[in-house]
Copies of this chain bind each other. A is one copy, B any other.
Amino acid sequence: MAQSVTVDKILDAAEILFAEKGFSETSLRMITSNAGVNLAAVNYHFGSKNALIQAIFSRFLGPLTTLMEQGMAEKGWSQKDENAPLLEDILKLYTRSLLKIPTSHPNGVSVFMRLMGLAYTQSQGHLRRYLEDEYSRIFRLLMHFVKQSTPNLSTAERFWRIQFTMGSVAFTMSSIQPLTEILEDSKKAQANPEQVVNFLVPYLLAGLTSEPVDAVAIN
């Protein structure tokens, strides 16, 4: 199980293919032939296709959560603390952490951004369970801060605004732009991740902090 060359070749190839085509639409034969390894290698090294999918997610979700926890610690955020962080800082913590990963990562940011989006939309039961088991703690913590920093929102409106926000993020991450090729400007708007995040954060912030529709909650 030690970091073999084959394991990495499989991970690199699978990551790209999954991001391009989705999980069910990508076969082990495509992956192994792209990776230049034997078909049986996946089952030998990972056990199953599902386990491979999970391995791919932990390869970047591990570093991501580490970076975010470090960031929270540096800023002195704590669950106990009464003072809420600024919403803008929460968003920035997330996006900055995301942008920090790829230096060590073979396939660039956009690939696992797209994977992140797939994790939401492809309903793969095993993946959902795995992600909940492994990463729900940091997710809940983040949500705690969001809740703290938006006290003027009703529970329902906050829930939906978070939903909308995650939608933007997840979708933006699908840089493959399935339908949106129709937009004539899609070629002009080059997909430099940092630039995109520059646009994204203010956009989200405006939506999240806009005047509530609901009656203000006591919370």
Contact = CB atoms under 8 A, between A and B. Distances in A.
Interface of A: 20-22, 24-25, 117-123, 128, 131-132, 136, 139-140, 143, 155-172, 174, 176-183, 185-186, 188-190, 195-196, 198-200, 202-211, 213-214
Given A164-B172, A178-B128, A179-B120, A156 B206 contact: no
18 contacts: A22-B24, A22-B123, A24-B24, A117-B121, A120-B180, A121-B121, A122-B178, A155-B185, A156-B188, A159-B185, A160-B172, A160-B189, A162-B183, A164-B203, A167-B168, A170-B171, A202-B211, A206-B209
B160 A180 contact: no
Contacts of A209: 206
A183 B172 CA distance: 21
A122 to B, nearest CB: 6
B123 A20 contact: yes
A171 B166 contact: yes
Contacts of A156: 185, 188-190, 195, 199
- Tell which of A121, A169, A170 has the most Cβ of chain B within 10 Å: A121
Contacts of A162: 180, 183
A198 B180 contact: no
A176 B122 CA distance: 11
A143 B196 CA distance: 20
B182 A171 contact: no
A179 B207 CA distance: 21
A25 B181 CA distance: 25
A159 B178 contact: no
Contacts of A139: 182
Given A122-B22, A182-B139, A164 B200 contact: yes
